[in-house]
A and B are shown apart, each in its own frame.
Chain A
Amino acid sequence: MSEAVPVLELRGITKEFPGILANDHVDFDLRRGEVHALLGENGAGKSTLMNVLYGLYRPDEGEIRIGGKPVVFHSSKDAIEHGIGMVHQHFMLIPVMTVAENIVLGDEPSENGVLLDYGAARGRVRELSRSFGFAIDPDALVQDITVGQQQRVEILKALYRRADILVLDEPTAVLTPQEAGELFEILRTLSREGLSIIFISHKLNEVLEIADRITVLRRGKLVDTLPAEGATEAGLARLMVGREVLLRVEKTAATPGEPLLKVVDLHVRDERGIEKVRGVSFEAHAGEIVGLAGVDGNGQTELIDALAGLKRPEAGRVELAGRDVTRDSVRAHFDDGFGHIPQDRQRHGLVLEFSIAENVALHEFRTAPDSRLGWLHPRTLIERARRLIREFDVRGGGPETHAGALSGGNQQKVILAREIDRDPRVLVAGQPTRGLDVGAIEFVHRRLVEERGEGRAILLVSLELDEILSLSDRILVLYEGEIVGEFPPTVSEEELGLAMTGGMHAEHAA
């Protein structure tokens, strides 16, 4: 480093988890006032590195230096005291508490040393948010404000603690392109004020837009640190993955057939009684992939639940291959040719303590040949599992391996195998590649396109615009529980983004 001492240095950080070397002698430095991006795939070790920096993990080896002096963090408290603030990918906010309570938590202003001085807390939050141009009501409950606002609360939490190093872990994952733009404005303001920012991402375009310098991690190892100027998306992608990546899935034009899934004026409420799906109508035809784009929380979960029979709609109709299934049970849906890849594979897709054989039998175990008169035939279950493991290239275990022992990608393959093996007419895939590595993503994408070729109607619900754009034959945008637009796959990301924020609400573009 030719210039002044970096505000932060990480030297030779190594962190091992059972079976995984998450960080392998990683070096990293941060200069005052810069935005330094940390780029890498899922599982490359970015979050681990930042958790080490934030005192949540103790490194097995290596050293952290702040302003040139070595420091040891025993907890996040130490990190906070050294001016490090972190905006976690999953917000560390308490939904049932107010914005002000969340911000002052752990460092509360008090009245006569005993009582919480809520008035002072509120004042401090107002003052802070005014000086950075955030419009946030300190008395609002966190669960009632938007995701974008929640993120600002997280930033305010760091600023309240006088952070001069701000770490943002995948901050745009939950934002629309427009909200992301606003976030970048905020980050630029903050860096002008002298804050140093670490920006963690796996999205190339964002990194190129916001960062001054870029550090690339791959499989826990440092690949390179380079200035953003002059870097290209293709070059970064190669560094990140270690080989050329296919940015688009190869597929032929769709030949849509008869409508297999028909949704008419569907209304669904969530647990709290709020109407999350408000009059959705669409069709999905045999042999096409319909992409459902939208920011998280705009009714996707409730819509999927209603389609799968997990939740009774308030009003409206769902037809599966011409049959009204609106009031049918989950089981009846599966029996009628419905396939479902749940959004949360570990909590909803699999029984992790069950073997692969038991998991793939989830829909079939009641009927012959899996069972007769309520009596199970384990051999049949194991035979099927063996066949599917071969067919879907599930690695890491045999039919009797517990699903929980598999990697995320292989777990997803088990779910895919189970759903596709039943030859469903309609397949609803909820965020099918969330958290998977590139190889598994490619597998899932290829398989979905293949299944389209088999004449299934596929509804792809995803928060990843790239995925929607590269797989879909038609794109629907869900905003606040309504379908606000339908686009061909050639649509630009900007246009899609605008629709996702309600910008096209009035038009109902075709």
Chain B
Amino acid sequence: MSETVRQLPEEQLPVSPSTLERYRILQKAGGLVAPLLTVVLAFLISGVVVLLTTGSVVDTAKTYKGIFDGTGLDWFFHVGSYQIGVPFTSARVWFPWNTNDISSQAAANLEQTLLLWTALVLVGLAVAFAFRCGLFNIGGQGQYLAGSIAAVLVATELPHVVDLPGVLLILVSVLGGMLAGAALAGIAGILKGTVGAHEVITTIMLNWIVIWVGSYLFDVGGPLQTKAAGAAGAVPASTDIPDKAQIHVFWGDPLFQGLDVGFFVAIASLVVYYLTLNRTTLGYEVRAVGHNPEAARYGGIGVARNYFLAMAIAGTFAGLAGALDLLGWKFREDITDIQSSSIGFIGIAVALLGRNTAIGVGLAALLFAALQTGTASRSLDPSIFPPELASSLAVIIQGLVVLFVGADVIILLALGWLRRRRPQKAATAT
């Protein structure tokens, strides 16, 4: 007779009080207070870094102001008395906001921010969807790259085979990108479901595999490096996609990264994400597995199947991001882009800060997109804060956000401290 006691400590208490407490606060806070505090805290602490660099509080404020001015969000503050045309008529009515200002620097910055927002929403959803199934998808980066590599392949190679009209070519290329992302993430999902390989490690390894295989493809001597004349001396890259495969730019100059139709695809994706999770049987299964895989298994839900599906869907979002970026404004894949892009990692911060909800991801993506554009643009005064440091500052802020998001306990501690103080005050008062 042999008997195993391999109980874990948590099972031995019904529900630990702190878990319940935490849960209650999360519900009360409506998921808004904590993320806001997180962001404020992250900006305050990174402010210390800026303070140390600039040496004065005023300059720190100026630095943040400079970053903000570079985001393009100031475009919304051009308030006054303007007119706007009513659709399908020739009538014009009063409007408080200058929508005609579509070619200023602010507008160009805003286009950049929204362009980034498009990608960040999608890679954010890639992380968030996997999260809802209890998986931590750090592979958004690789899935994004796989999507853009597949899209460039389809968009450049398919015209040699069949001559498709532009819209169809775009659709097929985007589909190729989505499939590539799904396939890559699906590998991690299958490994998790069948042999239990931790998705954090597998997705990171897949990132690096895509980066190096991608570099090989487009690098000097690689099979897919462009043979076009004039490319010599530049960064090794793929062939440019044909003009008809470029996604329509509806705001700004197509040559200078104007905002393309992909923006609306991202909005639609947020809706799809919400509906899939909350209104479909697939979403029900994914959430059940995410909350409690054992209970799901006991209830007859295939855990491995859902791990695969959740990862594949997550990869689809990221692959879509890669494809849209490529067809929308990159138009070619070059190896510096492959090796230095970090958009997939920002997606992690987006999902965490957005608490894996559709609205949250939308808002968090806006914050990080703005931060990214703001630190990358030329709005910073070099005499106050060296612009070349700004992108690292953005990474630090992202890190701090992720750090504090994980620790909602800080808020608990603060509340507990307040609660402890109150009775004391009451005691001294009497």
Contact = CB atoms under 8 A, between A and B. Distances in A.
A135 B287 CA distance: 50
Interface stretch (B11-19, B149-157, B219-227, B253-261): B11-19
Contacts of A480: 1
A274 B2 contact: yes
A348 B2 contact: no
B21 A18 contact: yes
A345 B11 CA distance: 11
Contact of A17 (B5, B17, B297, B298): B17
A142 to B, nearest CB: 7
A470 to B, nearest CB: 26
Interface string A330-346: 11011000001010101
Interface string A245-288: 00000000000000000000000000010100000000000000
Contacts of A95: 4-6
B20 interface: yes
B14 A408 contact: yes
Contact of A349 (B6, B17, B295): B295
Contact of A347 (B280, B283, B292): B292
B281 A350 contact: no
Contacts of A350: 292, 295
A167 to B, nearest CB: 16
B295 A348 contact: yes
A404 B5 contact: no
Interface in B248-306: 278-284, 287-288, 291-292, 294-302
Given A18-B20, A144-B2, A365-B284, A352 B292 contact: yes
For the residues of B in contact with A, the DSSP-based class is helix
Contacts of B21: 18
A131 interface: no
A469 interface: no
A296 interface: yes
Given A90-B12, A351-B291, A404-B23, A366 B281 contact: yes
A363 B296 CA distance: 10
A355 B265 CA distance: 32
Interface residues of A, number: 54
Interface string A283-326: 00000000000001110000000001110000000000000000
B284 A147 contact: no
Contacts, number: 110
A376 interface: yes
**Chain B: interface residue count, which band?**
35 or more
B3 interface: yes
A443 interface: no
Nearest to B280: A374
Contacts of B11: 90, 344, 347
Nearest to A333: B300
Contacts of A272: 4
27 contacts: A18-B20, A18-B21, A90-B7, A91-B5, A93-B5, A95-B6, A145-B2, A146-B1, A274-B2, A298-B1, A310-B297, A329-B300, A330-B300, A331-B300, A333-B300, A347-B11, A348-B294, A348-B298, A349-B295, A349-B298, A350-B295, A352-B291, A365-B281, A376-B278, A378-B279, A404-B15, A408-B14
Given A296-B3, A330-B297, A374-B280, 12 more contacts: A95-B4, A146-B3, A272-B4, A330-B298, A331-B301, A340-B298, A347-B295, A348-B295, A362-B288, A376-B278, A376-B283, A378-B279
